[in-house]
Amino acid sequence: DAKTTQPPSMDCAEGRAANLPCNHSTISGNEYVYWYRQIHSQGPQYIIHGLKNNETNEMASLIITEDRKSSTLILPHATLRDTAVYYCIVRLSSGNTPLVFGKGTRLSVIA
């Protein structure tokens, strides 16, 4: 079972920041928080991951609370092409560990 809880859907105005929350209260010390997204009819796409420090890359920022029980994915300037289902996943760092997908958050970016 997925170890994360996310809101089922969110809307965001184009050009504004999209803040997607995720609860993972049972995360263990050696587990990372990963974010993937799935645009309609495509395979999931890796976005970002982190352990305890905040992370930023060209796609997004990841803010992890100090107790690591929750996190927020931030898309700083959402575009229509960011409309997708966003999955927050907790897993060990080993690439050999499969991903356990929850239901994710369906983000709709609105013009």
Partner 1 sequence: SAVISQKPSRDICQRGTSLTIQCQVDSQVTMMFWYRQQPGQSLTLIATANQGSEATYESGFVIDKFPISRPNLTFSTLTVSNMSPEDSSIYLCAYASAISKEQFFGPGTRLTVL
What residues make contact with partner 1 under the rule CB under 8 A? 34, 41-46, 49, 87, 93-96, 98-104
- What is the rounded CA–CA span in Å between residue 32 and residue 27? 8
The distance of closest approach from Cβ of residue 70 to partner 1 in the complex, given in angstroms and rounded to an integer, is 20
The distance of closest approach from Cβ of residue 90 to partner 1 in the complex, given in angstroms and rounded to an integer, is 14
Q: Closer to partner 1 at the Cβ: 72 or 101?
A: 101
The distance of closest approach from Cβ of residue 10 to partner 1 in the complex, given in angstroms and rounded to an integer, is 17
Q: Closer to partner 1 at the Cβ: 2 or 14?
A: 2
The distance of closest approach from Cβ of residue 99 to partner 1 in the complex, given in angstroms and rounded to an integer, is 6
Q: Closer to partner 1 at the Cβ: 77 or 103?
A: 103
Token representation of residue 20: 């997607």
Dihedral of the alpha carbons of 76, 78, 79, 84, in degrees to the nearest 10: 120
Residues in the chain: 111
- Phi, then psi, of 66 in degrees rounded to 5: -60, -35
